[in-house]
Amino acid sequence: MWSAFIVGGPAGVLVDESRSASLVVVGTRGLGGFTGLLAGSVSTQVASHADCPVVVVRADCATGPGPQAPIVVGVDGSTEGTLALRFALDAAAASAARLIAIYVCQTIPAANLGPTTWGSYEPAQAEEEARRLLAEQVAGCAAEYPQLVIECRPVLSLNPGETLVDASRDAGLVVVGSRGRGGFAGLLLGSTSHTLIHHAHCSVAVIHPHPTDQQDFAG
């Protein structure tokens, strides 16, 4: 570990440093934070613009995740979601924590030919599809971690952020991709990750893909 004194805006300096870093860790609120805001402007900007994973640590989290505090990861099939799953697997293995992989199903199943409304299809069909997709994604990454206890939890919800915030109540860490399956290309931080860094009950890891990661997935 080394320390340095750098002149500049905190967010800009940390984003610059993230280009050659493997991880950036920030607090939820700095000296100028407003009491009503869980995440301050610096942590929000760094989580949005960094070129590496960012962990936003809650001020009231004295310790990291342990065996009694599971790690929760949001899985959605996106590149960022897969990278988040790999990060969560590494974190769970390092801390001997249980891993809960959550897939929030928001979409109408492909076989549905009726009206495209939330109540127009069979929930059991949607849950089974979500369970299958989640199992496939976890199995593809979890083979290297046979010692881990992994729970796959498909959830039917129109609000992934709210679902993961609720799951964070008993977690030591929540891991999500910077942008999910439905993210817009112009947005650097998706609605789910934005919701979590402001409302989660534990620390949050926001995973950004490096250009090399994107090339690997494209190839």
pLDDT of residue 85: 94
pLDDT of residue 8: 61
pLDDT of residue 149: 93
| 157 CB-near residues (< 8 Å, 6+ apart) | 104, 105, 106, 163
CA gap 62, 169 in Å, rounded: 15
Identify whether 46 is part of a domain: no
Identify whether 176 is part of a domain: yes
132 within 8 A of 156, measured Cβ to Cβ: no
Domains of the chain: total: 1
Identify whether 16 is part of a domain: no
Identify whether 183 is part of a domain: yes
Domain that residue 188 falls in: 55-218
- The closest of 51, 53, 54 to 19, measured between CA atoms, is 51
pLDDT of residue 4: 60
pLDDT of residue 156: 85
CATH number of domain containing 146: 3.40.50.12370
**How remote is the C-alpha of 56 from its chain's centroid?**
11
Identify whether 157 is part of a domain: yes
CA gap 29, 38 in Å, rounded: 7
Write out the chain's pLDDT in tens, 219 residues: 555 656 567 788 889 988 888 999 998 764 444 443 445 678 888 888 899 999 999 876 654 555 579 999 999 888 888 999 999 999 999 999 999 999 987 655 455 445 555 555 577 777 888 888 889 989 988 889 999 999 999 988 888 899 999 999 999 999 999 875 544 444 456 788 889 988 899 999 999 876 555 444 444
Identify whether 135 is part of a domain: yes
- The closest of 22, 56, 42 to 193, measured between CA atoms, is 56
Identify whether 118 is part of a domain: yes
Identify whether 126 is part of a domain: yes
CA gap 75, 21 in Å, rounded: 24
